[in-house]
Amino acid sequence: MEGLILARRMTGIPMDSRESLLRGYLAGRFDPRDGLCYTQGTEWTPRRACFFSQSTAMMGLLRWYRETGSPEARRLLDRQADGLLRVAVDRGSHVCFPKYEFDGEKYVNEPRDTEAPPWYGGRLILPLVDYWQLSGREDVRAFLDKLVRHVTEVSTFIKPDGEVERGDGWWGHLHSTQDMVAGICEYGRLTGRRGLVEWARRVYEWIGRTHTTRYGWVADVSGGRICESCSIASRVRLGLALWRAGVADPFDEIDRHVRNQLLENQFVDLDFMARPVPATPRTERVTYAGVDRMIRGTFQCWGTANDLIGNEDVEGCGTGGGVQGLALAWDAQYDWQDHPAGRELRVHLLFNRRLRSPPASPLTTGTPLAAELWSWLPNQGRVAVAAHLPLARLALRLPAGTDETTLRLIRTGTGKPSLDYPAPPLDGCYLIVTSVQPGERIELRFALQKSETTETAAGVRYRASWQGNAIRSLEPPGAKVPLYRQRAHQLDQPVSLTSPRYP
């Protein structure tokens, strides 16, 4: 649900009947008696309320409600929050969800006499912080206090230096852990508890040092080799939470991760697949026909550092996770900041985009168009901004790999002679342009440095060849479907700009 709404917002595609069907399916999974979201009971799987899935369902409801104001979505949210507060185990100073599943009456003791890792129910902190801000409920804030205390003070799952505990299977799941930590960071920022923000920063930095490459491989579990698209999205989310709290600058990493591993994790060319031949008719449990059509455009959850195929199957959660990663970068691409010279349009990521004025109210989306951004990256170091409204101050972030000695700023339009600045002013890594007038075109040109780095993923060393922030090649190649096979050829092609693709 969340991924579909996010995709629609980015691409401008209209809502169709499938979204309505999906809303109905999601709403139908909630039990009105306790408010929790349950799997559908079948011959091969029991009806259970999985606590990891509660967080995913709540995130879908929150996006549905914020998109439409639906009273049905709000009612389901309120009931789910009530149910979670009711079934959580209160241990005095803290609360937790000690097991993986609930059957409607009690916690399911599977695996026997073993508690779930803190992230399994702790990921709920992420949507519950959003719900608390939406509802203003003090009982939810008090619950969050105790759940956060369980994760940060009682549990030893996260070590003092931010290390995430290893274990069997999904025990040290980094995707869910980063989402949980992002929720804790947001809670710390909103409540003025800087200690929680610093705790979150240590986890972010430890995962970055030990389980992340510059180009975007992020391990699925502590000590793992697989890269879930969901893990990349969670890394982006946590980095942005720390940025809002004022303790991290994640935009170069986001630019590299989105342009490289995340895009390579998308199923586009399916020539590696054997043509599916239906052996039996489709059932509620199994389908054989059309699998290629179902996969194309989705995102892999079993990739590795240089292979699209890490395991012999496809995990469905990467579909929503990949879209989340793109949408998180999309939403953070630019913002408006106050400055003594006036409002500043600050662009953090140089993707093609219509840049809109600040909304007049939280529910307003149809705001005037302030400017259009056109980017030739990563093929060429060239960016243009066409202004539609006056801009007191425009700040454009230079991507890593920019040769600053080659910077040129060209201002044209408004009936004045073209102005060429060979050494434009910089504020850190942002190029500053002031007093931009409607109809003016700001063009930035620069050379992209080519470099090589050594990247280590799951104990394997890779040689990465870069052009600016984009990978040209990665060696050694994967054994099944190597990534970046066509990248060097693509980067050497001229860029053909078309009309803006996105709203």
Closest CA to 170 of 233, 237, 215, 123: 123
* Protein fold of 334-357+367-448: Immunoglobulin-like (2.60.40)
- The answer on pLDDT for 86 being more than 50 is yes
Angle (CA) 315-318-321 rounded to 5° is 155
All residues at 6 or more sequence positions from 292 whose CB lies less than 8 Å from its CB, including other chains:
270, 273, 275, 276
Arithmetic mean of pLDDT, 173-201: 98
Arithmetic mean of pLDDT, 401-416: 89
Domains of the chain: which residue ranges?
2-249, 334-357+367-448, 450-491
- The answer on pLDDT for 12 being more than 90 is no
- The answer on pLDDT for 498 being more than 70 is no
C-alpha 335/C-alpha 342 separation (Å) is 14
Cα 468 to Cα 232, 449, 452, 456, distances in angstroms? 20, 5, 11, 20
Q: pLDDT for 288-338, tens place per residue?
A: 777 888 888 899 988 999 999 998 777 777 778 999 999 999 999 999 999
C-alpha 30/C-alpha 364 separation (Å) is 30
Closest CA to 232 of 209, 210, 212: 212
Arithmetic mean of pLDDT, 17-41: 94
Query: Taking all residues of the chain, what is their mean pLDDT, rounded to a whole number?
Result: 93
- φ and ψ of 408, to 5 deg: -135, 135
Is the overall model pTM greater than 0.85, yes or no? Answer: yes
Closest CA to 490 of 469, 465, 472: 472
- CB count in 10 Å sphere of residue 27: 18
C-alpha 449/C-alpha 445 separation (Å) is 13
- CB count in 10 Å sphere of residue 444: 22
Kindly write down the DSSP assignment for every residue of 66-99, as one continuous string: HHH--HHHHHHHHHHHHHHHHHSEE-SS-EE--S
**pLDDT attached to residue 362:** 55
Q: pLDDT for 131-142, tens place per residue?
A: 999 999 999 999
CB 333 within 8 A of CB 353: yes
**pLDDT attached to residue 363:** 47
Arithmetic mean of pLDDT, 96-120: 96
* Protein fold of 2-249: Glycosyltransferase (1.50.10)
Closest CA to 371 of 358, 359, 383, 353: 353
- The answer on pLDDT for 501 being more than 70 is no
